[in-house]
Protein backbone atom coordinates (compact mmCIF):
# COMPACT_ATOMS: atom_id res chain seq x y z
CA UNK A 1 0.00 0.00 0.00
CA UNK A 2 1.25 3.49 -0.84
CA UNK A 3 -1.51 5.84 0.29
CA UNK A 4 -0.52 9.24 1.65
CA UNK A 5 -1.52 11.20 4.72
CA UNK A 6 -3.19 13.73 2.43
CA UNK A 7 -5.37 11.02 0.94
CA UNK A 8 -6.39 9.98 4.46
CA UNK A 9 -7.28 13.59 5.31
CA UNK A 10 -9.39 13.89 2.16
CA UNK A 11 -11.08 10.54 2.84
CA UNK A 12 -12.05 11.53 6.40
CA UNK A 13 -13.36 14.89 5.17
CA UNK A 14 -15.58 13.20 2.57
CA UNK A 15 -16.81 10.68 5.17
CA UNK A 16 -17.76 13.51 7.52
CA UNK A 17 -19.44 15.76 4.94
CA UNK A 18 -21.00 13.09 2.72
CA UNK A 19 -20.19 14.98 -0.48
CA UNK A 20 -17.12 15.77 -2.55
CA UNK A 21 -18.12 19.43 -2.73
CA UNK A 22 -18.55 19.74 1.04
CA UNK A 23 -15.18 18.14 1.70
CA UNK A 24 -13.47 20.31 -0.93
CA UNK A 25 -14.97 23.48 0.55
CA UNK A 26 -13.90 22.50 4.05
CA UNK A 27 -10.35 21.72 2.88
CA UNK A 28 -10.19 24.80 0.60
CA UNK A 29 -9.14 22.73 -2.43
CA UNK A 30 -10.70 21.78 -5.74
CA UNK A 31 -13.34 19.07 -6.05
CA UNK A 32 -11.22 17.33 -8.68
CA UNK A 33 -8.34 16.97 -6.19
CA UNK A 34 -10.64 15.29 -3.67
CA UNK A 35 -12.19 13.03 -6.33
CA UNK A 36 -8.77 11.96 -7.57
CA UNK A 37 -7.52 11.26 -4.03
CA UNK A 38 -10.53 9.05 -3.19
CA UNK A 39 -10.26 7.19 -6.51
CA UNK A 40 -6.53 6.52 -6.01
CA UNK A 41 -7.12 5.43 -2.42
CA UNK A 42 -9.82 2.94 -3.45
CA UNK A 43 -7.58 1.57 -6.20
CA UNK A 44 -4.72 1.21 -3.76
CA UNK A 45 -6.85 -0.57 -1.14
CA UNK A 46 -8.80 -2.64 -3.64
CA UNK A 47 -12.17 -1.84 -2.04
CA UNK A 48 -15.00 0.64 -2.54
CA UNK A 49 -14.97 3.14 0.32
CA UNK A 50 -18.13 4.95 -0.78
CA UNK A 51 -21.36 4.20 -2.64
CA UNK A 52 -22.16 6.96 -5.12
CA UNK A 53 -25.68 8.38 -5.55
CA UNK A 54 -27.14 11.58 -6.97
CA UNK A 55 -27.08 13.51 -3.70
CA UNK A 56 -23.61 12.51 -2.60
CA UNK A 57 -21.78 9.55 -1.12
CA UNK A 58 -22.58 6.91 1.47
CA UNK A 59 -19.67 5.28 3.25
CA UNK A 60 -19.53 1.48 2.81
CA UNK A 61 -18.87 -1.16 5.47
CA UNK A 62 -15.26 -1.36 4.29
CA UNK A 63 -15.16 2.43 4.45
CA UNK A 64 -16.25 2.39 8.09
CA UNK A 65 -13.52 -0.12 8.89
CA UNK A 66 -10.87 1.94 7.13
CA UNK A 67 -12.12 5.14 8.77
CA UNK A 68 -11.11 3.84 12.22
CA UNK A 69 -7.60 3.06 11.01
CA UNK A 70 -7.26 6.37 9.15
CA UNK A 71 -8.36 8.38 12.19
CA UNK A 72 -5.90 6.48 14.39
CA UNK A 73 -3.03 7.11 11.94
CA UNK A 74 -3.72 10.84 11.71
CA UNK A 75 -4.11 11.10 15.48
CA UNK A 76 -0.72 9.43 15.94
CA UNK A 77 0.88 11.86 13.49
CA UNK A 78 -0.64 14.81 15.37
CA UNK A 79 0.65 13.42 18.67
CA UNK A 80 4.15 13.06 17.21
CA UNK A 81 4.13 16.64 15.93
CA UNK A 82 2.73 17.96 19.19
CA UNK A 83 5.44 16.24 21.20
CA UNK A 84 8.17 18.08 19.29
CA UNK A 85 6.36 21.40 19.60
CA UNK A 86 5.89 20.93 23.35
CA UNK A 87 9.50 19.90 23.81
CA UNK A 88 10.89 22.76 21.78
CA UNK A 89 8.77 25.75 22.74
CA UNK A 90 6.55 25.12 25.75
CA UNK A 91 6.95 24.22 29.41
CA UNK A 92 6.02 20.61 30.18
CA UNK A 93 2.31 20.03 30.56
CA UNK A 94 1.11 19.19 34.09
CA UNK A 95 -0.04 15.69 34.94
CA UNK A 96 -3.38 15.13 36.69
CA UNK A 97 -3.56 11.66 38.23
CA UNK A 98 -6.35 9.77 39.97
CA UNK A 99 -5.90 6.82 42.32
CA UNK A 100 -8.17 4.54 44.32
CA UNK A 101 -7.65 4.12 48.05
CA UNK A 102 -6.00 0.71 48.19
CA UNK A 103 -3.70 1.45 45.26
CA UNK A 104 -2.54 4.80 46.62
CA UNK A 105 -0.17 3.48 49.26
CA UNK A 106 0.99 0.27 47.61
CA UNK A 107 1.44 1.05 43.92
CA UNK A 108 1.31 4.78 43.14
CA UNK A 109 4.15 5.89 45.41
CA UNK A 110 6.74 3.82 43.55
CA UNK A 111 5.42 4.87 40.14
CA UNK A 112 5.45 8.55 41.10
CA UNK A 113 8.99 8.32 42.43
CA UNK A 114 10.18 6.84 39.12
CA UNK A 115 8.24 9.40 37.12
CA UNK A 116 9.57 12.37 39.08
CA UNK A 117 13.13 11.16 38.63
CA UNK A 118 12.59 10.87 34.87
CA UNK A 119 10.56 14.10 34.44
CA UNK A 120 11.45 16.45 37.32
CA UNK A 121 10.01 19.54 35.60
CA UNK A 122 6.45 18.17 35.34
CA UNK A 123 3.98 19.39 37.94
CA UNK A 124 2.03 16.39 39.23
CA UNK A 125 -1.29 16.56 41.08
CA UNK A 126 -3.15 13.50 42.34
CA UNK A 127 -6.61 12.87 43.77
CA UNK A 128 -7.69 9.80 45.72
CA UNK A 129 -11.31 8.68 45.43
CA UNK A 130 -13.53 5.71 44.58
CA UNK A 131 -13.53 4.07 41.16
CA UNK A 132 -16.88 5.46 40.00
CA UNK A 133 -15.89 9.07 40.67
CA UNK A 134 -12.48 8.66 39.04
CA UNK A 135 -14.17 7.25 35.93
CA UNK A 136 -16.42 10.32 35.90
CA UNK A 137 -13.41 12.65 36.12
CA UNK A 138 -11.56 10.80 33.36
CA UNK A 139 -14.51 10.92 30.97
CA UNK A 140 -14.99 14.60 31.76
CA UNK A 141 -11.35 15.37 30.98
CA UNK A 142 -10.54 16.50 34.53
CA UNK A 143 -7.97 13.72 34.97
CA UNK A 144 -5.34 12.55 32.49
CA UNK A 145 -4.69 9.06 33.87
CA UNK A 146 -5.93 7.03 36.84
CA UNK A 147 -4.13 4.18 38.57
CA UNK A 148 -6.71 1.90 40.13
CA UNK A 149 -8.30 -1.50 40.48
CA UNK A 150 -9.86 -2.15 37.08
CA UNK A 151 -11.34 -5.63 37.48
CA UNK A 152 -14.83 -4.09 37.55
CA UNK A 153 -14.26 -1.05 35.36
CA UNK A 154 -17.71 0.19 34.33
CA UNK A 155 -17.46 2.35 31.22
CA UNK A 156 -15.12 0.38 28.96
CA UNK A 157 -16.53 2.06 25.83
CA UNK A 158 -15.37 5.51 26.92
CA UNK A 159 -12.22 4.44 28.76
CA UNK A 160 -9.09 2.59 27.78
CA UNK A 161 -7.38 0.41 30.40
CA UNK A 162 -4.11 -1.46 30.61
CA UNK A 163 -3.36 -3.97 33.37
CA UNK A 164 0.14 -3.88 34.84
CA UNK A 165 -0.28 -5.93 38.02
CA UNK A 166 -2.46 -8.87 39.03
CA UNK A 167 -2.77 -9.93 42.67
CA UNK A 168 -4.32 -13.11 44.10
CA UNK A 169 -6.36 -13.21 47.30
CA UNK A 170 -4.77 -14.76 50.41
CA UNK A 171 -6.02 -15.53 53.90
CA UNK A 172 -4.44 -13.39 56.65
CA UNK A 173 -4.11 -15.06 60.05
CA UNK A 174 -2.69 -14.21 63.48
CA UNK A 175 0.33 -16.15 64.66
CA UNK A 176 -0.73 -19.48 66.20
CA UNK A 177 -4.16 -19.59 64.55
CA UNK A 178 -5.65 -23.07 64.14
CA UNK A 179 -5.57 -22.78 60.34
CA UNK A 180 -1.95 -21.61 60.19
CA UNK A 181 -0.63 -25.19 60.28
CA UNK A 182 -1.87 -25.79 56.70
CA UNK A 183 -0.10 -24.42 53.63
CA UNK A 184 -3.36 -24.25 51.65
CA UNK A 185 -6.69 -23.33 53.24
CA UNK A 186 -10.01 -24.71 52.03
CA UNK A 187 -12.58 -21.97 51.49
CA UNK A 188 -15.06 -23.93 53.60
CA UNK A 189 -12.78 -23.57 56.62
CA UNK A 190 -13.08 -19.78 56.50
CA UNK A 191 -16.87 -19.63 56.71
CA UNK A 192 -17.04 -19.96 60.49
CA UNK A 193 -14.22 -17.49 61.14
CA UNK A 194 -14.90 -13.86 62.14
CA UNK A 195 -13.82 -11.63 59.24
CA UNK A 196 -12.06 -8.29 59.30
CA UNK A 197 -13.48 -6.70 56.16
CA UNK A 198 -11.65 -4.04 54.13
CA UNK A 199 -14.26 -1.84 52.45
CA UNK A 200 -12.18 -0.04 49.82
CA UNK A 201 -12.25 -0.70 46.08
CA UNK A 202 -14.00 -4.02 45.34
CA UNK A 203 -12.60 -6.06 48.25
CA UNK A 204 -15.81 -6.38 50.28
CA UNK A 205 -17.87 -7.23 47.20
CA UNK A 206 -15.49 -9.98 46.07
CA UNK A 207 -15.15 -11.47 49.56
CA UNK A 208 -18.93 -11.51 49.96
CA UNK A 209 -19.38 -13.24 46.59
CA UNK A 210 -16.73 -15.78 47.47
CA UNK A 211 -18.38 -16.87 50.72
CA UNK A 212 -21.95 -16.47 49.51
CA UNK A 213 -21.22 -19.09 46.84
CA UNK A 214 -21.04 -21.54 49.73
CA UNK A 215 -24.57 -20.62 50.77
CA UNK A 216 -23.65 -18.52 53.78
CA UNK A 217 -23.09 -14.89 54.66
CA UNK A 218 -19.64 -13.90 55.90
CA UNK A 219 -19.34 -13.39 59.67
CA UNK A 220 -18.06 -9.82 59.59
CA UNK A 221 -16.54 -8.82 62.92
CA UNK A 222 -15.25 -5.41 61.82
CA UNK A 223 -15.42 -3.21 58.73
CA UNK A 224 -12.73 -0.63 57.99
CA UNK A 225 -11.26 1.41 55.14
CA UNK A 226 -7.77 1.16 56.64
CA UNK A 227 -5.40 -1.64 55.64
CA UNK A 228 -3.30 -0.87 58.73
CA UNK A 229 -6.38 -1.36 60.92
CA UNK A 230 -6.97 -4.75 59.27
CA UNK A 231 -3.36 -5.68 59.98
CA UNK A 232 -3.60 -4.74 63.65
CA UNK A 233 -6.95 -6.47 64.17
CA UNK A 234 -5.81 -9.68 62.50
CA UNK A 235 -2.50 -9.71 64.38
CA UNK A 236 -4.25 -9.39 67.75
CA UNK A 237 -6.68 -12.23 67.00
CA UNK A 238 -9.85 -10.24 66.36
CA UNK A 239 -10.47 -12.18 63.15
CA UNK A 240 -9.04 -13.24 59.80
CA UNK A 241 -9.04 -11.35 56.50
CA UNK A 242 -9.21 -12.26 52.82
CA UNK A 243 -7.12 -9.71 50.96
CA UNK A 244 -4.94 -9.46 47.84
CA UNK A 245 -1.24 -10.23 48.12
CA UNK A 246 -0.62 -6.70 46.89
CA UNK A 247 -1.18 -5.22 50.37
CA UNK A 248 0.26 -8.03 52.51
CA UNK A 249 3.01 -7.18 54.98
CA UNK A 250 4.12 -9.68 57.66
CA UNK A 251 3.99 -7.22 60.57
CA UNK A 252 1.42 -4.87 62.08
CA UNK A 253 2.34 -1.36 63.20
CA UNK A 254 2.58 -2.70 66.74
CA UNK A 255 5.14 -5.30 65.64
CA UNK A 256 2.85 -8.35 65.79
CA UNK A 257 3.30 -11.11 63.24
CA UNK A 258 0.72 -11.80 60.50
CA UNK A 259 0.65 -15.07 58.58
CA UNK A 260 -0.83 -15.53 55.12
CA UNK A 261 -1.94 -18.69 53.36
CA UNK A 262 -3.12 -19.69 49.88
CA UNK A 263 -6.85 -20.31 49.56
CA UNK A 264 -7.87 -23.24 47.38
CA UNK A 265 -10.40 -22.87 44.62
CA UNK A 266 -11.09 -20.57 41.70
CA UNK A 267 -10.84 -17.19 43.41
CA UNK A 268 -11.12 -13.81 41.72
CA UNK A 269 -7.99 -11.72 41.29
CA UNK A 270 -7.39 -8.03 41.73
CA UNK A 271 -6.27 -6.31 38.54
CA UNK A 272 -4.45 -3.01 38.92
CA UNK A 273 -3.92 -0.86 35.88
CA UNK A 274 -3.86 2.51 34.19
CA UNK A 275 -7.03 4.05 32.78
CA UNK A 276 -7.44 7.02 30.44
CA UNK A 277 -10.14 8.42 28.20
CA UNK A 278 -10.43 6.52 24.93
CA UNK A 279 -9.64 8.50 21.81
CA UNK A 280 -8.53 11.62 23.66
CA UNK A 281 -5.40 13.57 22.78
CA UNK A 282 -3.36 13.00 25.93
CA UNK A 283 -0.80 15.61 26.97
CA UNK A 284 2.83 14.60 26.63
CA UNK A 285 3.15 14.26 30.41
CA UNK A 286 0.41 11.59 30.45
CA UNK A 287 1.90 9.73 27.49
CA UNK A 288 5.26 9.73 29.27
CA UNK A 289 3.66 8.36 32.45
CA UNK A 290 1.93 5.56 30.53
CA UNK A 291 5.15 4.78 28.67
CA UNK A 292 7.13 4.62 31.92
CA UNK A 293 4.70 2.13 33.48
CA UNK A 294 4.69 0.03 30.31
CA UNK A 295 8.50 -0.04 30.29
CA UNK A 296 8.54 -1.13 33.93
CA UNK A 297 6.07 -3.92 33.14
CA UNK A 298 8.19 -5.11 30.22
CA UNK A 299 11.27 -5.24 32.46
CA UNK A 300 9.41 -7.52 34.88
CA UNK A 301 8.71 -10.02 32.10
CA UNK A 302 12.40 -10.69 31.52
204 vs 59, which has greater pLDDT?
59
Q: Say yes or no to pLDDT of 301 above 70.
A: no
Share of the chain above pLDDT 90, in %: 27
**Residue 46 burial (10 A CB sphere; 0-12, 13-18, 19+):** exposed
* Helix or strand (DSSP H, E) at 53: strand 50-53
Write the pLDDT tens digit of every residue in 70-83: 888 887 777 677 66
93: three-class secondary structure by DSSP:
coil
Residue 67: its pLDDT value, please? Answer: 86
Q: Are 173 and 258 in contact (CB under 8 A)?
A: yes
Residue 27: its pLDDT value, please? Answer: 83
Q: Say yes or no to pLDDT of 222 above 90.
A: yes
Whole-angstrom Cα distance, residue 139 to residue 1?
36
Residue 302: its pLDDT value, please? Answer: 43
210 vs 238, which has greater pLDDT?
238
Average pLDDT of every residue of the chain: 85
Q: Say yes or no to pLDDT of 65 above 70.
A: yes
* Helix or strand (DSSP H, E) at 241: strand 241-244
Write the pLDDT tens digit of every residue in 84-127: 655 555 677 899 999 988 888 888 888 888 899 988 989 999 99
Q: Say yes or no to pLDDT of 173 above 90.
A: yes
Tell me which residue of 177, 173, 193 sits closest to 261, measured CA to CA: 173
Whole-angstrom Cα distance, residue 184 to residue 252?
23
Q: In Å, how far from its chain's centre is CA 187? A: 30
Claim: this prediction has a pTM higher than 0.85: no
Amino acid sequence: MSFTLRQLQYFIAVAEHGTISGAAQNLSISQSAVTEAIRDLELDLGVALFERHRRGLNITHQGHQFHRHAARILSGVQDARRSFVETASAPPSPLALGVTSMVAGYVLSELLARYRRAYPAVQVTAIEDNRDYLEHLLIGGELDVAVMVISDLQDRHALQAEIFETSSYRLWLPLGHRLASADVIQIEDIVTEPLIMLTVDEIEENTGKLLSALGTKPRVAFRTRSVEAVRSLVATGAGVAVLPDLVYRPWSLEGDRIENRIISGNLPVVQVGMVWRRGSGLPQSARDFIGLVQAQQNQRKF
